């Protein structure tokens, strides 16, 4: 494991808006306001997303005066790597970033080998908020409280940074293939910036990431799920379910008090009817809490007839001290779902030696500075 550690002042200086927060059409509008020819938009766009420019001075295709005017109006860099970790088996990189105002977020790059007909994937798990307000009891981020929403540029920059990591380690042969909005925070609670980030990532003149290679996760914000069904982007939807009944789910996920399971599942049915896309249900398996055969049977009944898939995630150790089921219990829960006709997989564990679980590295860094 290789580790780069740099702890610096986390005070919040004043900053200009970031040019990374602009979609390509918004950048074109900015160039029009600056009375620049239309081709300047593509020069800047390619400098940022094709050449990984970190400052306007690096955009040497632009006239000096324009570079100066851009520097007066915008920032470029929005993320500073503070801690970079690489797992022993070489498949995971995790970075703790400091934002321009001193807030801390985490991003994880996971390398998956192709199996059978499936291709190799380079998946980045990105954050959409600094902290989280939803308080799921098993989640390290939920235990840290909410700080603020991330801008679209702060979300996108996590992907561009990991593209640079891949370029450095593979001689430019590999790029990010998939993005999951499953890091720190609730993407649907930062809906507009999350969808703006999707727009930028999907742009065919920039990062060129297919919408079907992006997955947005939510604990179950029903209005936003219905809103996502109306979007033009064919992104995937993942629901953090984690319990098959209201009593149990309300105990571990406070959001269930607002939108209970019946309301959530109905929203998922409407989403599927509108989009004809499969919904993934994330199920964190916690020993003695939600991992019994009766829970599996309840889950089968709940999801019967839905176009869906269940992803079982053995719980990570956090300050909540939830216990992880043993492999036998995990396998039994999976097999019960399969026999009940529910497509199911157990998430492949990666990066346990570098605290790859959401929020763990931030908590460690804050503890080190207290």
DSSP per residue, 300-339: HHHHTT-SEEEEEEEPPP-TT-PPPPPHHHHHHHHHHHHH
CA distance 360 to 144: 10
pLDDT band at residue 197 using 50, 70 and 90 as cut-offs:
very high
Higher pLDDT, 364 or 256: 256
Q: Which listed residue (51, 80, 106, 273) is catalytic?
A: 106
Residue closest to 102 by CA, chosen among 359, 367, 362, 368: 362
CA distance 43 to 288: 57
Average pLDDT for 40-53: 96
Average pLDDT for 233-248: 97
Beta strand 121-125 with 178-181 is parallel
Catalytic status, residue 106: yes
Residue closest to 347 by CA, chosen among 361, 329, 334, 328: 334
- Cα distances from 279 to residues 113, 216, 306, in angstroms, run 24, 10, 8
pLDDT of 365 over the 80 cut: no
CA distance 20 to 76: 6
For residue 108 the two structure tokens come to 């994880």
- Average pLDDT of the chain is 89
pLDDT of 11 over the 60 cut: no
For residue 17 the two structure tokens come to 């808006």
pLDDT of 141 over the 80 cut: no
Whole-prediction pTM value? 0.89
Average pLDDT for 311-336: 88
Q: Which domains can be identified in the chain, with CATH numbers? A: 19-73 (1.10.150.530), 79-369 (3.20.20.70)
- At 351, is the secondary structure helix, strand, or coil? coil
Please count the other Cβ atoms lying within 10 Å of the Cβ belonging to residue 46: 15
Give the pLDDT confidence of 74-126 residue by residue, as tens digits.
999 889 999 999 888 888 999 999 999 999 999 999 998 876 656 889 999 99
Q: What is the pLDDT of residue 169?
A: 87
Cβ partners under 8 Å of residue 19, min gap 6: 27, 44, 48, 70, 74, 75, 76, 153
Residue closest to 220 by CA, chosen among 277, 282, 273: 282
Query: Could you identify the residue written with the tokens 């799921």?
Result: 136
Average pLDDT for 284-297: 96
- At 141, is the secondary structure helix, strand, or coil? coil
Give the pLDDT confidence of 149-158 residue by residue, as tens digits.
999 999 999 9
Higher pLDDT, 353 or 32: 32
CA distance 4 to 2: 7
CA distance 89 to 338: 30
CA distance 40 to 32: 10
For residue 268 the two structure tokens come to 């998922």
Size of the chain, expressed as the number of residues it contains: 370
Q: Which listed residue (125, 132, 308, 358) is catalytic?
A: 358
């Amino acid at each position: 494991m290789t580790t780069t550690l740099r702890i610096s002042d986390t005070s919040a200086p004043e900053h200009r808006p970031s040019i990374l927060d602009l979609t390509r059409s918004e950048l074109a509008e900015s160039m029009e306001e600056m009375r620049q020819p239309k081709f300047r938009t593509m020069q800047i766009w390619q400098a940022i997303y094709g050449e990984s420019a970190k400052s306007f001075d690096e955009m040497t295709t632009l006239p000096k005066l324009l570079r100066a005017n851009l520097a007066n109006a915008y920032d470029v860099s929005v993320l500073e790597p503070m801690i970079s970790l690489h797992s022993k088996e070489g498949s995971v990189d995790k970075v703790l970033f400091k934002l321009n105002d001193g807030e801390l977020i985490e991003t994880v790059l996971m390398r998956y080998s192709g199996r059978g007909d499936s291709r190799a994937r380079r998946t980045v798990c990105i954050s959409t908020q600094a902290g989280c307000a939803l308080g799921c009891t098993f989640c390290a981020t939920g235990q840290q409280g909410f700080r603020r929403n991330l801008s679209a540029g702060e979300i996108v920059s996590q992907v561009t940074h990991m593209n640079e990591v891949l370029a450095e380690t593979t001689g430019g042969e590999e790029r990010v293939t998939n993005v999951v909005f499953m890091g720190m925070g609730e993407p649907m609670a930062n809906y507009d910036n999350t969808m703006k980030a999707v727009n930028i990532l999907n742009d065919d003149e920039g990062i060129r990431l297919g919408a079907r290679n992006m997955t947005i996760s939510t604990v179950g914000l029903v209005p936003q799920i219905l809103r996502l069904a109306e979007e033009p982007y064919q992104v995937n939807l993942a629901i953090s379910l984690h319990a098959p009944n209201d009593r149990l789910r309300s105990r571990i996920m406070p959001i269930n008090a607002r939108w209970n399971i019946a309301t959530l599942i109905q929203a998922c049915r409407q989403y599927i009817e509108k989009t004809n896309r499969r919904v993934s249900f994330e199920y964190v398996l916690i020993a003695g809490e939600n991992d019994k055969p009766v829970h599996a049977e309840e889950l089968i009944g709940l999801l019967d007839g839905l176009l869906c898939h269940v992803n079982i995630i053995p719980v990570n150790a956090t300050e909540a001290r939830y216990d992880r089921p043993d492999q036998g219990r995990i396998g039994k829960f999976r097999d019960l779902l399969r026999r009940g006709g529910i497509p199911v997989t157990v998430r492949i564990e990666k990066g346990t030696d570098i605290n790859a679980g959401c929020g763990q590295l931030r908590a460690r860094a804050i503890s080190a500075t207290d």
